[in-house]
Structure 1
């Protein structure tokens, strides 16, 4: 529940800001990737400024997701190891339960005869 509230409190304002910036920044902007010759058209692209805003946002989301994924890798590995151990111990308990039931069924209950 708290996660949903935080998402709403963060994502809705970010979305509103992006929409407002998109509407306000529709003029074309040239992005030059060659710092020594910015007029070089091979390494430059022209697009509305809001396209660059959206691309930067998407890039940040992907980069943040990857950082989170790699940071949580040790926890996922630990969960896999513990799940495998739980399966192993569950199988071991089943084996002992079956063996105990077999021993109990073979035990002869003495009947007192009168």
Structure 2
């Protein structure tokens, strides 16, 4: 179901991106200086589609980084829990080994018990 949904949504999005890229090939000036129009301190001339793609990639990087940072407490908690599980498993194994060494094996008998009422 997910694969079909991704195809249904992915094909129109891909076509839209291709149409935007083909229609916006002329260069635009991207400037970070709102006061100096003729000689900004930083400006880049690039096609509009490249600016849009760069903006999307930058947004994904910023969003992914912020999600990764905000989930740090859960990764730390999981790491601590894994360490605790390993410690408890080693204690269990040690306890089982000590128990097996201390108790002698119980001999098995193959005798049938005597009947309660004589026949």
For Structure 1 versus Structure 2, the TM-score category normalised by the shorter chain is 0.7 to 0.9
Q: Alpha carbons of 1:11 and 1:75: their partners in 2 closer, same or farther (altered >3 Å)?
A: farther
What is the TM-score of this pair, normalised by structure 2? Answer: 0.75
Q: Give per-residue Cα distances to partners, 1:54-74, cap 9 Å, x unaligned.
A: 100100110111121112111
Greater percentage in helix:
1
Distance 1:12 1:29 in 2: 28
Structure 2 unaligned residues grouped into runs of 5+: 108-119
Q: 1:6 to 1:71 in 2, by over 3 A?
A: farther
Count of residue correspondences: 107
Unaligned runs of 5+ in 1: none
Q: Residue 50 of structure 1 aligns with which residue? A: 49
Normalising by the residue count of structure 1, what TM-score does the alignment of the two structures yield?
0.78
RMSD: 2.4
Distance 1:92 1:70 in 2: 34
Larger Rg: 2
1:14-39: CA deviation from partner (whole Å, max 9, x where unpaired): 43332221111111101122111121
Q: How far is 1:109 from its partner? A: 6.0
Runs of 4+ residues deviating >4 angstroms: 4-13
